[in-house]
Structure 1
Amino acid sequence: MALRMQRLVVGLLPWAFLLPPGGWAGEIIGGKEARPHSRPYMAYLEIQRRDERIRCGGFLVAENFVLTAARCQGDNITVLLGAHNVKLRERHRQRIQVCRQIPHPQYNRETLNNDIMLLQLENIAVLNRWVGTLALPCAGERVAPWTTCNVAGWGRTLPTVDCLSDTLQEVDVVVMPDATCLRHPYKPYRHYNPCSMMCVGDPAFLNDSAKGDSGGPLVCGGKAQGIVSWGICKAPSVYVKVSTFVPWIERTMRRLQPGARL
């Protein structure tokens, strides 16, 4: 029982003004520090929004594109690749400005449907042992309920301590049947859409919340099957179903590659 509880820990939650009433968006609670640079696809996003600085997670899907959540838009975004401890000047870290933010055209701030965004990097990332890409699923691919996946990020690690992690944290989570979220037709799951969202985290074992990053990947079988999106003060949490958006992702990246006709 204790081992299962440890594996099923995730909490979701960033900025209330971007979420439906009672909703929070995502981070890691109860996990452990990841082995440094074991996830070379992870991206740490420094976001300037008006007079505040916020952070999000993301992941590299091509040499010049990072995938994240649409709520992570800002006036200016800087991407750190190859990072583990974001407070240190790590030797192999790459710092790249974002030149274009491309949120999904049907992103809805109220329902949080289509909470996905591509970031085009100003410079091409150098791929090496510390920086690499994460594979996308096939279009329409489905993750079976009760599959154990993994999520990582730099957010709060304790629900009662208002302090974000400097080091990358990770935790295993379980994909739940859509019915786990659909059986709550009122707040906050009333907008749950099984076509574009995933229900993740066993409610029998978790009651956590945390302030931290959204936009990080839910990795299942070596592929980015989900993106941290939103949740409440207990599991399950809601992730973007990446396989639904693969045609849009690939089409957008092709259109914006150097030399492509816009």
Structure 2
Amino acid sequence: MQPLLLLLALLLPVGAETEKIIGGHEAKPHSRPYMAFVQFLDKDNNNDSKKRCGGVLVHKDFVLTAAHCWGSSIKVTLGAHNIKEQEKTQQVIPVRRAIPHPDYSPKNYSNDIMLLLLERKAKLTAAVKTLPLPRGKARGDSGGPLVCNNVVQGIFSYGKNDGTPPGVFMKISHFLPWIKRTIKHL
């Protein structure tokens, strides 16, 4: 089964995006308090279009997301259930610095992982919490986390345009040395 999934993943067009959730259901409000909504301006193609990605709060002042979620005027919303409504639980925090992996390649999306240093620390509440990074090897919507046993194991990179499986996730444990080194030095 795993070789088949790998083959299917390799057949996906590079940069394919999944913007629709097929067969999903609404989560209980604030049941995923580590989720982050990342908004930015995309300067590609000479247009300042607003783009959005998911992310995960891994430290009071760091959000982990996909490197292709880079742009200008990045801001992160934490503690939201419905991003279209203002909620008292929401914290909107500008990003001080975006730190894509040094080996990220936009041509083939290799090393598609990025840390966002927030302008200020998030206030941890019932609706805003961090999600621990994996301690070792992992078993396995852009920037959104793959969570197993309440630990972030992957960051969504890309998938088919129609939202059907498979989706491709960057395995977090492979990037732990870079993540920890980057957080420690900032």
The structure 1 residue matched to 2:146, chosen from 200, 218, 230, is: 218
Q: Distance in 2 between matches of 1:22 and 1:244?
A: 21
Amino acid at match of 2:109: L
Contact persistence 2:66–2:155 (CA under 8 A): yes
The structure 1 residue matched to 2:166, chosen from 236, 239, 257, is: 236
Task: Please report how far the alpha carbon of residue 87 of structure 1 lies from its aligned counterpart in structure 2 after TM superposition.
Answer: 1.1
Change (3 A) 1:23 1:118: closer
Q: Distance in 1 between matches of 2:97 and 2:143?
A: 17
> How many positions carry a matched residue from both structures?
169
Identical counterparts, % of pairs: 53
The structure 2 residue matched to 1:143, chosen from 139, 143, 157, is: 139
Amino acid at match of 1:225: Q
- Residue 31 of structure 2 is aligned to residue 38 of structure 1: yes
Q: Distance in 2 between matches of 1:134 and 1:26?
A: 23
Amino acid at match of 2:23: G
Q: Which residue of 2 aligns with 1:122?
A: 119
Point out the structure with max Rg over C-alpha.
Answer: 1
Q: Distance in 1 between matches of 2:53 and 2:15?
A: 17
Change (3 A) 1:134 1:26: farther
Task: Please report how far the alpha carbon of residue 142 of structure 1 lies from its aligned counterpart in structure 2 after TM superposition.
Answer: 2.8
Q: Distance in 1 between matches of 2:68 and 2:97?
A: 15
Amino acid at match of 1:65: F
| Structure 1 length-normalised TM | 0.61
Q: Distance in 2 between matches of 1:26 and 1:242?
A: 20
Task: Please report how far the alpha carbon of residue 25 of structure 1 lies from its aligned counterpart in structure 2 after TM superposition.
Answer: 2.5
Runs of 4+ in 1 over 3 A off after TM superposition: 20-23
Gaps (5+ residues) in structure 1? 1-19, 145-212, 257-262
Q: Distance in 2 between matches of 1:70 and 1:21?
A: 18
SS in 2 for 1:107: coil
Change (3 A) 1:54 1:23: closer
The superposition leaves residues 7-66 of structure 1 with CA deviations (integer Å, 9 ceiling, x where unpaired) of: xxxxxxxxxxxxx84641344321100100001000001111231001100010000000
Q: Which residue of 1 aligns with 2:42?
A: 49
SS in 1 for 2:117: strand
Q: Which residue of 1 aligns with 2:183?
A: 253
SS in 1 for 2:130: coil
Q: Distance in 1 between matches of 2:150 and 2:16?
A: 27
Please give the root-mean-square deviation of Cα atoms over the aligned residues, in Å. Answer: 1.7
Gaps (5+ residues) in structure 2? 1-11
Q: Distance in 2 between matches of 1:69 and 1:78?
A: 14
Amino acid at match of 2:144: G
Amino acid at match of 1:143: R
Change (3 A) 1:22 1:61: closer
SS in 2 for 1:33: coil
Task: Please report how far the alpha carbon of residue 247 of structure 1 lies from its aligned counterpart in structure 2 after TM superposition.
Answer: 1.0
Q: Distance in 2 between matches of 1:226 and 1:26?
A: 16
Q: Which residue of 2 aligns with 1:25?
A: 17
